[in-house]
Chains A and B, each alone.
Chain A
Amino acid sequence: MKELLVRLMGRVRLVPAPRYHSLARQFEEARRSGDNWKTRAGEALAHVKSLERDVERQSRLLKDARAELDKRRRAEQEAIALREQLAATERELVRAREHLMAIEVKLDILEGAANVLDSRTRTIVPQPTDTSAKA
Chain B
Amino acid sequence: MPRRDAAGPAVDSPDAPYVSIVLTGRNDGYGGDFIDRFFRTLRFNLQEFQARGITYELVFVEWGPPHGRPLLAERVFDEVPELEPGASAWYAVDSQYNAALSLNPRLQYLEFPAKNVGIRRARGRFILTSNCDVFFGRRICDVLEQRGLEPGVLYRAPRHDIELPAGCKVIDWNVLEDPAVLAGPAHRLKPPFMGSATGDFVLLDRASFHDIRGFNEVYRVARIGIDRNLLVKAMSAGIRIVDIGGPVYHVNHEGSYRLNPTAYAGREQEAPWGDRRWHSAGVSYVNGPGWGLSAAPVREEYRYHYLEFDWHAVPQLVDLGGVVLPVARPGHPAPGRYVRK
Identify the A interface with B (CB < 8 A).
Answer: 94, 97-102, 104-106, 108-113, 115-117, 119
Contact = CB atoms under 8 A, between A and B. Distances in A.
Contact of A106 (B105, B320, B334, B341): B320
A105 B103 contact: no
B39 interface: no
A99 B337 CA distance: 11
Nearest 5 pairs of A and B residues by beta carbon: A112-B103, A97-B338, A101-B282, A101-B279, A112-B221
Contacts of B6: none
Given A106-B323, A108-B219, A113 B338 contact: no
B105 A102 contact: no
B317 interface: yes
Contacts of A100: 338
Given A98-B338, A109-B219, A116 B323 contact: no
Given A98-B325, A109-B221, A119 B105 contact: yes
A105 B337 contact: no
A119 B105 CA distance: 9
Contact of B283 (A105, A113, A115): A105
Contacts of B334: 94
Given A102-B324, A109-B320, A110-B318, A116 B218 contact: no
B102 interface: yes
Interface string B327-340: 00000001111100
B104 interface: yes
B49 interface: no
B34 interface: no
Contacts of A117: 317
Interface string B90-121: 00000000000011110000000000000000
Q: Which of A94, A99, A101 has the most CB of B within 10 A?
A: A101
A98 B341 CA distance: 14
Contacts of B282: 97-98, 101-102
Contacts, number: 64
Instruction: Say what secondary structure dominates the interface of chain B.
Output: loop
Interface residues of B, number: 26
B220 interface: yes
A110 B322 CA distance: 13
A111 to B, nearest CB: 8
A110 B221 CA distance: 10
Interface of B: 102-105, 218-221, 275, 278-279, 282-283, 317-320, 323-325, 334-338, 341
B105 A104 contact: no
Contacts of A113: 103, 317-318
Contacts of A108: 103, 219, 221, 275, 278
B23 to A, nearest CB: 27
22 contacts: A97-B338, A98-B282, A98-B325, A98-B335, A102-B282, A102-B324, A105-B278, A105-B279, A105-B323, A108-B103, A108-B219, A108-B278, A109-B103, A109-B221, A109-B319, A110-B318, A112-B103, A112-B221, A113-B317, A115-B104, A116-B103, A116-B317
B335 A104 contact: no
B341 A109 contact: no
Given A97-B337, A109-B318, A110-B320, 18 more contacts: A98-B282, A99-B325, A100-B338, A101-B283, A101-B336, A101-B338, A102-B283, A102-B323, A104-B278, A108-B219, A108-B221, A109-B219, A112-B103, A112-B104, A113-B318, A116-B103, A116-B105, A116-B317
- The residue in A99, A112, A119 that gathers the most chain B C-beta atoms within 10 A of its C-beta is A112
A109 B283 contact: no
A99 B335 CA distance: 12
A32 to B, nearest CB: 92
